[in-house]
Chain A
Amino acid sequence: MANQHDNHETNEDVIILGDQEVLKSDLLTLNMGPQHPATHGVLRVEIKTDSEIVAEAIPHLGYLHRCMEKHCEHLDYRGVIPFVDRMDYLASMSMEWGYALTIEKMLGTEVPRRAQYIRTMIAELQRIASHLMFYGTYAIDLGAFSPFLYAFQDREEILRLFEELSGARLLYNYVWIGGVWNDISDEQLKRVENFCYKMEENMKKYDDLVGQNHIFVGRTANVGVISKDLAYDFGLTGPVLRGSGIKWDLRKDRPYGIYNEFDFDVPVGQGLKGQLGDCWDRYYVRVQEIFESIKIIRQCLDGIEAGPVMGKVSKIIKVPAGEIYMRTECPRGELGYHLISDGGKTPYRLKVKSPCFTNVSILPELAPGQMVADLVATIGSIDIVLGEVDR
């Protein structure tokens, strides 16, 4: 009887690896991520593995927590912008725009048309820069180094333009409440136009280099599949949601700024290389978004009007008492600002709904049953910035 019982136990303690049955051993706890908490902007995932298969993955957050929300309660409304920059440092312009829109809506400020065009153009350039960063780092995650350098070469041109406009390369403080800081010159607009042509050509080349490569497809297709229901359940946003085939983009569905005047498509994953919602689909959505952004920038360049770039805002901003929730479409998803004001000089409460935080929450759901190498591909395809997750 006891013998039978033993046999029964052994049969359950096996792993099915392909078509083989392997004996299950004790779980091995591994630490994926930084070796030191002071390493900035990295995700630490504690994984429990059996041989090559991940049984459990727990993302550990909080290494980059800077009390940003609490800090904002002691700053005047203009002083919050440098801190908002530091959330998603790869898409600072988009972060600022969301915050500026929140305050402008509360104040009822009219933003000049030229500033609206500049903001849209800048946000789309930032989206290209951010997706180029994804393209480069994702290729590194999967073992290709040169795409990273090509992506940075193009990203550098965007950063150079931003540096000339705002004075900084990463943390711009350029989009202000009521408009933008500096005006854009005709020479710079010409450069943006040239950049669009170059970028369109280059991106097709880069897609051939990485996205169509059979080895890359083998590593990403059918890996980390997020089904439509799962995407809805976890409240995913941005390219991760659109990769699962759901057509939802705030720029199209709930237009803010002047997005309702532009003509562009919302690319969604189509399951071209594998099942719908796999890593390759998320890569595909981001690459297609670069082309759509170029389309929007071209329309901006055609329509840009002369005029002031700063609206009428009082010297000391006092937001009327009340509450507002404003959301914008950032390169990584839906960013929301919930502002509560008591009529004073500082926000009473500023809560940020971060897209990366929601997107990283799906990791413990996706990881079990994956190979360790596939987990790397999955984390890379979600494309999170820890500055925004921890705030």
Chain B
Amino acid sequence: MTALPRPEAMAPAGSAAHALELRGLSKRYGSFTAVDAVSLRVERGQFLTLLGPSGSGKTTILMAIAGFVAPSAGAVLLDGADITALPPERRDFGMVFQGYALFPHMTVAENVAFPLRVRRLGQAAREAKVRAALDLVQLSAFAERRPSQLSGGQQQRVALARALVFEPDLLLLDEPLSALDKKLRAELQEELKALHRRIGRTFVNVTHDQEEALSLSDQVAILNHGKLVQMGAPEALYERPRTRFVADFLGKSNFLRGTVREVRPDMMALQAGGTRLLQAVQGAHPAPGTPALLSLRPEKIALLAGEEAADNAVAGRIEAWAYLGAGYALTVATDDLGPLRVALPAWRAPIAPREGLPVRLGWSAEAAVPVLEDADGA
């Protein structure tokens, strides 16, 4: 169970990576449930991000995968083998800690060599691997520096090199980019993604930054109050959120409330005050007369010119607006749907926004998505 195959060199995608599975994982601290029966599966070579607000249990899950937190119930499986009881030092996972946790009394090279040293690797092999790992993160010139002499981004890359140098089957990342400024974060996101493609290992990342989750991951698991709310590819989560929480946490969203009036095979009509909304339906069809909640992304709302027609159209006045460079963020007050957030590209915007300006908003029947109200907060 403990003797995991150890590849001699960084192997191409898939062959050395491992599949990780959580089955009904729970962690309780007294009466507080930090993680509530989370089950999920990461396939070989995939990049999974655990995304959630603070206190959602994402870090606890990562620590349980790493072996630092003993779950109250459930199991952690690696390629089908139960590793729940295995101590962290025998799991052979690479990990990048929040704040990096570089050893301050060691040089960069010594830090990177540490995992190899505890594995009693010979000096020649050790030096070669350290050099290769530092090359990988482009820090070869800094091998003899101390961590305190490096910038935040460089420290982050040392932590990455240290986590990868012993060719772990699984790399765990705990908010790896949160301590960096925005521009550097974007740069390192790209590097991290390229690195994942290049070495093809399974990555499990924890973040509260939804942009980071969307841009890096193959799969995103959204957590709230210790529960797994929805898991899927970034596009699927963004385009088809299952609950109000997912739609709200991943990007921005307007929520439209109405009562189902009429249902046809692919279409339904909702009544929201005096406004009739046309909405495409997939899967389950709600019964006429029941309340419905729609999530409508701000960028899917268009400004209608003159008498231009749309599946859905509503009149309102600009209540507030902000110029963001690439676009305008408008808040439009409507009678039946409340304030609606609208993202308008600034380049050739049809109007010059000002407060009180009357506008007509329109969106197609496919633009919004029916979502569920959050059950007991999740």
Bound together: no
